[in-house]
Structure 1
C-alpha cells in the first residue's frame, strides 16, 4: 500500500484526491497540509478522509509512513517543496507548471537523480483518449513530415480571477496564461512534435488591469527543417474552445478529431485523397480507449512506476522542456527578439530573479483576496 500526502488544498487538490480514490486498493491518503489548516480540515471532511492535518509541510515530511506527495501549491513553491520531499526519500507528483524557472527545474531534476525517487509533473491532458490517439496516429507517419502546427489554448477568466493574492504576479505565479493555462497544450505540442529550434513571440494584457502578467500571447516556432508552429495562449477567449492541428505534407489531423488529405491534380490544385483519409481514420478508430483519463490516469501512471511496472510518462526532464518553451516565449516577448533553443544558464530568463527583473509588467497588482469560497474550476479539454 502506497501512503500519500497532499500539500496544498486549493481547487486542483480535489482532482488529485479523486484520482487517488480510484485506486484505494493500491494507495491511501494519510495526510493533508495547507498553510490554512481549516482548508485542509474542510477538504478532508468533504472527501471523508481519515488523515493527519498539517500547516507546515516540513513537519509532515517527518511522518515516516508517507511514500508519495502530491504538490498542489502555487508555482513559486513547487521547487522547494519537491526538493525537500525528494531529499527526504519521498516520491513526488507536482502540479503544473513544474517550477517558476529553468534553474529550479534543473535543481529538482538533480534532487530526483540523487534520491532515486520518482518525480512526475502533472500533464493530465496527455492522459486523454483524443490526445493518446492523435499521438499514435502521428506515429504512423502516414501524414508525411509535419509542415505546420496550430495550437489554440483558449481559456476565459474574469477580472476577479487575478484578485487572489498569489495570482497575476511574476513573483508568486511566475507568469500569466502562457505558463498557467497554455502549459497543458504546450506540453502536448512538444510531446507530439518535438522541440523547435527558435521562438518569436508577442504578449499583451488586454482585459486584466489587476495583473502584472499577460492574458494573451502569440508565439511562432521554427524547426530546423523549416516547419513552423503557432501557439496562442489566452484567458480572453469566450467558450474556451481548444484545438491542436497538425498539417503534414500528405494530410491534416487534429484534436478535436478531423482528418483531411489532399493530392495534387496535374495543374497543382487539390483533390481529395480518400484512400489516405480512410487509412488515417482506420488508424484512429482501431485504437482502444484508455481505462482511466485525466488526473486519475496520471495517478495510476505514478503508482505503477512506484510499483516497478513502468517508467512515468511525464518525468522532470519532460516537465523542463515545457517550461523551456514557455520561458522562450517570455524572453522573446519581453526583449523583442527571436530566442534560440535550447536554453541554458546563459539565458537572461534562466533564473527566477532574471524573470522578475526582465519580464514585462503590464499593470501593478492592487487588489488581494486571501481565498475564494468558490472552488469549482475548468480544466480544459473542450475539444468540441
Structure 2
C-alpha cells in the first residue's frame, strides 16, 4: 500500500476539520475518499465543501463494507465510538477515533479486543500528547530526574461554559446524549495526560462530583477527586465548567523536586540531593535540601490533530510507532468512570473498577435522561466550524 484511502464518519465540528485537513494535503500518504453522516442534509455540505471525488454515504456499515476505503476516522457521538470501531475492524479497516474512547470501560474493552484481533492500526485522537511541555514532563519522570513520584495535583478549571452553551443542543450535558459532563466532554485530554506523563494509574479513588451545581444540566459540572498510587503517592484532580477565571495547573512532586506546568511554561525546582538522603543526614532544626530553579529546554512544536493523523498514516504505511495507541484510551476513561462511580456509591472505588456496577448505575441515569442519544453515525454537532465547541 502506498496510499491510504480514508473516510470520516460524523461530519460535525471535528469530523469536518479532519476532512479538510486531509483534502488540504496535510497528511502525505492519505487521501480522503468518503465521508458519512446519517443526516441527509449533510450531502449538500459535502458537495459544497469537499472535492467531487469524495463520496457521501448515509449508512456507515455499507460504506465500511464497500471495499472502497482502507481506514476510518470516527468522529461520531461518544456512545458510538466503540460500536463503529468494532464494525470497522470486522471489515478489515484501520481506525482512528476521536476522544473519548467511549462512555463506559466495559464497551471500550470490547473495542480493544476487536482491535487486537484485527491486526489493524488503531489510534486515539489524543492531540495533547504532541504538546512539547507534556512530552518533556514525561521524559523527565521516565528518566528519573524527578525521582520517585510522591504527589500529583491537577487543577483544570478553565473550561467555563455558559447556560446558553448547554442549551445549544438538546443532547448536550445529558446522560443519554453525551454520557456525562465535564469529565467526558472537556477533560479527556487531561485525564489521559495525568496517567501518561507519570507512567502509572491509581489503585483507588474517592471522588465528589456535583451534578448541575452551576448550570441547569443533569450531568457533572464540578469534580474533586483524591487518588492513591501503589507506591504510596497521592493525587488530586479538580475540574469544573462553572468558574471564571479558571486555572490550568499540573504539579508533580517527587523525592528530587517539583515540576509545574502552567500558563504554557514548565518549571522544574530540582533538589541538589534526594529528600530522603537529606533527611537521613540532617541534624539541624528547620533546614531543607538545597533547591535549584532550573530552566529546562523545551524543543519541538505541538502538531495537534494533523500531527496525530500523520502519525497514524505513517504507522499504517511504514510501521511508525503510534503516539497515542487506541488501546490506551481506556485509561483516562477508567479515571472518569471511577470518579462517577465513587460519587454514585458514596464510597471508595478500587481500580480497575467494577465495570458491571458502573454500567448498571449509568443505565439508571440514561433511563431518566431528558434526551435520547443521537442515531449512530450522526455528528450531533453543527458542521459550521465557526461554532466549534469542545
TM-score, normalised with respect to structure 2: 0.85
Distance 2:253 2:25 in 1: 37
Q: Distance in 1 between matches of 2:362 and 2:99?
A: 18
Aligned to 1:232: 238
Q: Is the 8 A contact 2:174 2:371 kept in 1?
A: yes
Aligned residues: 364
- Counterpart of 1:296? 306
Question: Are 1:113 and 2:131 matched, yes or no?
Answer: no
Any conservation in 1 of the 2:33–2:69 contact (CA below 8 Å)? yes
CA 1:130/1:50 → structure 2, altered by over 3 Å: closer, same or farther?
Answer: farther
Task: Structure 1 unaligned segments of length 5 or more: list them.
Answer: 380-384
Shift of 1:24: 4.5
The residue that corresponds to 2:275 in the other structure is none
Question: Which residue pairs with 2:97 in the alignment?
Answer: 94
Bigger relative CO (Cα 8 Å, ≥ 6 apart): 2
Q: How far is 1:127 from its partner? A: 1.3
2:43 & 2:305 partners in 1: Cα distance?
Answer: 20
Instruction: Decide whether the 8 Å contact of 1:105 with 1:316 is kept in 2.
Output: no
Query: Matched residue of 1:162: which SS?
Result: helix
CA drift of 1:378 comes to 5.8
Aligned to 1:376: 387
* Ranges in structure 2 where 5+ consecutive residues have no aligned partner: 273-277, 375-379
Alignment of 1:1-384 (within 5 A): 1-20=3-22, 21-39=24-42, 41-42=44-45, 45-46=48-49, 50-154=53-157, 155-163=159-167, 164-193=169-198, 194-204=200-210, 205-209=212-216, 211-256=217-262, 257-262=266-271, 266-270=284-288, 272-274=290-292, 277-278=293-294, 281=295, 284-285=296-297, 288-290=299-301, 293-345=303-355, 347-349=356-358, 351=359, 353-357=360-364, 372=382, 375-377=386-388
Aligned mates of 1:360, 1:343 — CA distance in 2? 22
For the Cα contact (< 8 Å) 2:27–2:310, is it kept in 1? no
Distance 2:245 2:67 in 1: 46
- Write the distance in 2 (CA, Å) between the matches of 1:231 and 1:32: 38
CA distance in 2 between partners of 1:15 and 1:230 (Å): 34
Which residue of 2 is the match for residue 382 of structure 1?
A: none
Query: In 2, Cα distance between the equivalents of 1:360 and 1:218?
Result: 26
Q: Which moved more, 1:173-182 or 1:260-269?
A: 260-269
Displacement of 1:23 in angstroms is 3.4
**Residues 260 and 121 (structure 1 numbering): CA distance in 2 closer, same or farther, change over 3 Å?**
same
- 8 Å CA contact 1:334, 1:360 repeated in 2: no
Deviation at 1:343, TM superposition (A): 2.2
CA-CA distance at 1:78 after TM superposition: 1.1
Deviation for aligned residue 1:106: 1.3
Q: 1:254 to 1:378 in 2, by over 3 A?
A: farther
Partner secondary structure for residue 307 of structure 1:
helix
Output the TM-score relative to the length of structure 1.
0.86
CA spacing shift, 1:24–1:123, aligned 2, 3 Å: closer
Q: Shift in Å at residue 14 of structure 1?
A: 3.6
8 A contact 1:134–1:254 mirrored in 2: no
Structure 2 CA distance for aligned equivalents of residues 311 and 239 of structure 1: 39
Q: 1:91 to 1:336 in 2, by over 3 A?
A: same
Distance 1:157 1:203 in 2: 17
Question: Secondary structure of the equivalent of 2:13?
Answer: coil
Rate the CA distance shift 1:10–1:175 in 2: closer, same or farther, 3 A: same
Alpha-carbon distance in structure 2 between the residues aligned to 1:172 and 1:64:
31
Cα RMSD for the two superposed structures: 2.7
Q: Tell me if the contact between 1:156 and 1:238 (Cα under 8 Å) persists in the aligned partners.
A: yes
Contact 2:27–2:306 (8 Å) recurs in 1: no
Q: Contact between 1:6 and 1:69, CA under 8 Å: does it hold in 2?
A: yes
- Tell me how far 1:271 sits from its aligned partner: 6.3
1:71 positional shift: 0.7
Q: Are residues 114 and 197 of structure 1, via their aligned partners in 2, closer, same or farther at CA, if it must alter by over 3 Å?
A: same
Q: Is the 8 A contact 1:197 1:221 kept in 2?
A: yes
